[in-house]
Structure 1
Amino acid sequence: MLFFYNNDDNTRELLQPYIDSGIVDCVLIKGKGQQLNAYNDAIQKHKNECRWMAFIDMDEYLIPSQGGMLGETMQRLFEGRNDGAAGIGVNWAIFGTSGHKNRLPPPITEKLLNRAENNYWTNFHVKTICNPRLVANYISPHYPHYRLGAYSISDTGKRQWGWSFNDVQYNNLRINHYYCKSEEDYLKKISRGLGDRVGSYDMSRYKYYDKNDVHDELMLRYKSELSKRLKSF
Structure 2
Amino acid sequence: MLITEDKYFIFDKPRNENFVYKTKYCITVMQCIGYKVLKTIFRKKASDDKKYYVSICGIFKDEAFYLKEWIEYHKKAGVDHIYLYNNNSTDNYLTVIKPYLEEGYIDLINWPKSQAQMEAYHDCFNRFRNETSWLGFIDIDEFIVPIENKSVKEYFKEHAYEQSILIYWKMFGSNGLIHRDIKRPVTKDFTSCWYKYDDIGKCFINTEFEISDKQPILHHMLWTKRGVFNMPPVNCCGKICPRDWYNPADRDVFPIQINHYVLKSYDEYMSKVNKSDVMFTQNPKGEEHFRRHDRPSTSTDFTISKFLEK
Q: TM-score, normalised by structure 2?
A: 0.65
Q: How many residues align structurally? A: 217
Q: CA offsets per residue over residues 115-145 of structure 1, 9 Å max, x none? A: 00114xxx11110011234214572041234
Contact 2:164 2:204 in 1 (8 A): yes
Partner of 1:48: 130
Q: Which runs of 5+ in 1 are unaligned?
A: 226-233
Whole-angstrom distance in 2 between the partners of 1:182 and 1:197: 21
Aligned to 1:21: 103
Matched with 2:167 is 90
For residues 34-83 of structure 1, the C-alpha deviation after alignment (integer angstroms, 9 at most, x for no partner) is: 211111110110011111001100000011112412121112234xx5xx
Tell me by how many angstroms 1:165 deviates.
Answer: 5.2
Query: For the Cα contact (< 8 Å) 2:164–2:223, is it kept in 1?
Result: no
Find the structure with the greater CA-based Rg.
2
Structure 2 match to 1:130: 205
Quick one: which amino acid aligns to residue 193 of structure 1? S
1:185-222 Cα deviation digits (max 9, x unpaired): 10111123353354412222111112421111111111
Q: Deviations over 1:156-191 (max 9, x none)?
A: 111012445545654211000000011011011112
Which moves more between the two structures, 102-111 or 193-202?
193-202
Matched-pair identity in %: 21
Which structure 2 residues correspond to residues 32-181 of structure 1 after superposition, within 5 A? 32-78=114-160, 81=161, 85-103=162-180, 104-119=182-197, 123-132=198-207, 133-136=209-212, 139-140=216-217, 141-147=219-225, 148-163=229-244, 166-167=247-248, 169-181=252-264
Query: Would the aligned equivalents of 2:263 and 2:269 in 1 still touch at CA under 8 Å?
Result: yes
Structure 1 stretches of at least 4 aligned residues deviating more than 6 Å after TM superposition:
none
Q: Report the secondary structure of 2:130's partner residue.
A: coil
Secondary structure, counterpart of 2:109 in structure 1? strand
Query: Gaps spanning 5+ residues in structure 2: where?
Result: 1-80
Establish whether residue 5 from structure 1 lines up as the match of residue 85 from structure 2. yes
Q: Is the 8 A contact 1:6 1:12 kept in 2?
A: no
Cα distance between partner residues in 1 of 2:108 and 2:222: 22
- Work out whether 1:215 is the aligned partner of 2:300: yes
Secondary structure in 1 matching 2:309: helix
Correspondence 1:185 to 2:268 = yes
RMSD, matched Cα: 2.1
Query: Aligned with 2:144: secondary structure?
Result: strand
For 1:192, what is the secondary structure of its paired residue? coil
Aligned AA (1:107) = P
Measure the CA separation in 2 of the matches of 1:72 and 1:63. Answer: 12
Aligned twin of 1:224:
309
Distance in 2 separating the partners of 1:31 and 1:202: 25
